[in-house]
Amino acid sequence: MAKRVAPALELTKELAKLQDVIGRLLGSRTGSLSGPAARARLAGLPYDADCLPLFDALVAELRSWPAVDRPRVGGNERAFDNEAFFDAYFSNYIEGTEFEVDEAVGIVFENRIPEKRPKDAHDILGTYRLLSDLQEMSHSATREVDDLEGFLDLLRRRHFTMLADRPEVGPGAFKTKANRAGNTEFVAPDLVRGTLQKGLERFRALEAPFARAAFMTFLVSEVHPFTDGNGRIARVMMNAEVIAGGQHRIIIPTVYRDDHLGALRALSRNGRAQVLPTMLDRAQLFSSRIDFSDLAGARRALEKAQAFLEPSEGQLRIPE
């Protein structure tokens, strides 16, 4: 197209420059490239440059975020399993996989798979399987991973575990087609690896478990590297960071769904970095106030906190 219209517009010099740049990007011509994004593409690891200011804004916000110690109580396997159950339940509910709590209890703890909704049931079961694995959830992307490939392997392995029973969505495989949610178009497939690398570089500047968790969930959510399960795996990666750091899990209940999604959008669309850690801090405070040692007791406490209500029906209440 450019070759056809350039002569008519008297832009032959500009056409020559364009062809030279394209040739350098493709490697068919020699010469240096001045832009970092162009150099990254030539090196075989292109990235989405629009993401970098968002990553930088969030890192700056998190590095000055006041540290709050909400330690995870160790040694109680039942409490950890119950936390994982409600984490998996709410994480799937946010994404539209809706079950009554009793149905979810039957699926997870009694292996009762509804005949009419086997795929949805396996979504909850797979998410729980991952979230209840203390050894897996104790691996931080900072402490356990030395390079980009190690991080990508960690991310893909967890995604595969979560969606192993859903082969049609490509568990453990990065997307090959662009994906979007509403008006938001996520990072293009060929830019996924490079953008994750740029995020990982910034992630390593963070030390506090909460800060790492907040950045990680935004990184995965913003890149949206998989065909399906991106929101759930973003929250899995988030909680692995706090658990590995000895801190309490962050659970996003149904009533807090709009706050959660709104905080991600506030940064993604408007560059407002303070909203996300503010939202996650409140969610972690809420989670830390629930006694998960008994499933029925935890359920009653969550009901009292209005956790199961739709955002339009109630408001998250922090237990005393």
Give the CATH number for residue 142. 1.10.3290.10
Cβ(158)–Cβ(126) under 8 Å? Answer: no
CA dist 225 and 267 (Å) reads: 18
Spell 238-248 as b/e; 16+ CB within 10 A means b. Answer: bbbbbbbbebb
CA dist 136 and 144 (Å) reads: 11
Residue 316 included in any domain = no
Q: Structure tokens of 122?
A: 């396996």
Q: How far does CA 146 lie from the centroid of its chain?
A: 20
CA dist 189 and 120 (Å) reads: 26
CA dist 32 and 23 (Å) reads: 11
What are residue 184's DSSP bridge partners? Answer: 181
Q: Which residues contact 153 (CB under 8 A, 6 or more apart)?
A: none
Q: Structure tokens of 249?
A: 């899990």
Its sign, for the CA torsion 169, 172, 177, 181, is positive
pLDDT in the model for residue 79: 95
Residue 309 included in any domain = no
> Residue 212 is which amino acid?
R
Q: Which of 287, 265, 289 is nearest to 276 (CA)?
A: 265
Residue 173 included in any domain = yes
Residue 21 included in any domain = no
pLDDT in the model for residue 67: 86
Count the domains in the chain.
1
Helix (H) or strand (E) holding 256: none
Strands 180-181 and 184-185: antiparallel
Burial tier of 15 (Cβ tally within 10 Å: 0-12, 13-18, 19+): middle
Q: Give the range of the structural domain holding residue 271, as residue numbers without chain letter.
A: 49-304
The radius of gyration of the chain from alpha carbons, rounded to an integer in Å, stands at 22
Q: What is the pLDDT along the chain (320 residues), one digit of tens a residue?
A: 556 665 766 667 664 665 554 455 445 566 554 556 555 555 579 999 999 999 999 999 999 999 889 999 877 899 999 999 999 999 999 999 999 999 999 999 999 999 999 999 999 999 999 999 999 999 998 766 678 999 999 999 999 999 999 999 999 999 999 998 877 889 999 999 999 999 999 999 999 999 999 999 999 999 999 999 999 999 999 999 999 999 999 999 999 999 999 999 999 999 999 999 999 999 999 999 999 999 999 999 999 999 999 999 999 999 98
Residue 24 included in any domain = no
Q: Report the predicted TM-score, pTM, of the whole model to 2 decimal places.
A: 0.86
CA dist 187 and 193 (Å) reads: 10
What are residue 174's DSSP bridge partners? Answer: 226
